[in-house]
Amino acid sequence: MKFDWGLLSCNSRATGREGRRLPASHDWRGARYEWEPDERIRSKAAFDAERLDTPLPMMPSLLQGLAANEFWAAWTRAEALSKLFDVPVLHWIRTQPFAVPVMTTAAPVLMEAGRKCWTYTGVWSGKNLIFTCAWTDSETSTSQTDCHENRTL
């Protein structure tokens, strides 16, 4: 599926431009999804996807009355950002906002010290899939010490 920020594929195990490994995710049934970032994205990238029929986890503190699609949107955002910064997702959720993202818009995420990364959350209707892509500006560090969102937005 082609969208504004690249191409999604299912079970392809492909390589992207210049033979790079593509950011990938597996759903709860074992299907593999890959994101080939658009050529405008030349920095580190990460990706997460979940089927909308995935059973909700027994995590009452995270569910907070969210509808299933809202929860999975927030989860894929957290998972993609944790992959981008090489941080375990449960650590990310404990230390960062668990926020429902704006759908189908590339949204900036300001990190501490003015660093910036971007997230895009969308739905692949034909696959019943919600996904988030995340990437940095080329000058943004992705070390674990730089992975705190600026909560003053």
Is 41 part of a structural domain of the chain? Answer: yes
State both tokens at 28.
């709860």
**In-domain check, residue 112:** yes
What's the distance, CA 93 to chain centroid? 13
**Is this structure's pTM higher than 0.75?**
yes
71-75, 77-81, 117-121, 145-149: segment of lowest average pLDDT: 145-149
Rounded Cα distance between 4 and 146, Å, is: 27
Q: Which residues contact 36 (CB under 8 A, 6 or more apart)?
A: 6, 7, 8, 9, 14, 16, 17, 22
The string of DSSP codes covering 46-67 is EEEEEETTSPPPS-HHHHTT--
Contact present, 121 and 76 (Cβ < 8 Å): yes
Look up residue 97 and give its DSSP letter.
Answer: -
Q: Which of 46-55, 74-83, 136-145 has the lowest mean pLDDT?
A: 136-145
Please state, in angstroms and rounded to a whole number, the distance separating the CA atoms of residues 12 and 152: 40
pLDDT at position 133 over 70: yes
In a domain, 128, yes or no: yes
Checking if the pLDDT of 60 tops 80, the result is: no
Q: Which has the minimum average pLDDT: 6-10, 37-41, 46-50, 141-145? A: 141-145
| 153 within domain boundaries | no
* Domain assignment of residue 151, yes or no: no
For the chain, what is the domain count?
A: 1
Q: Which domain holds residue 70?
A: 2-146
d(CA 49, CA 91): 19
At 150, the pLDDT band (50, 70, 90 cuts) reads very low
Average pLDDT across the chain, whole number: 80
74 found inside a domain: yes
Average confidence (pLDDT) over 14-40 = 82
In a domain, 58, yes or no: yes
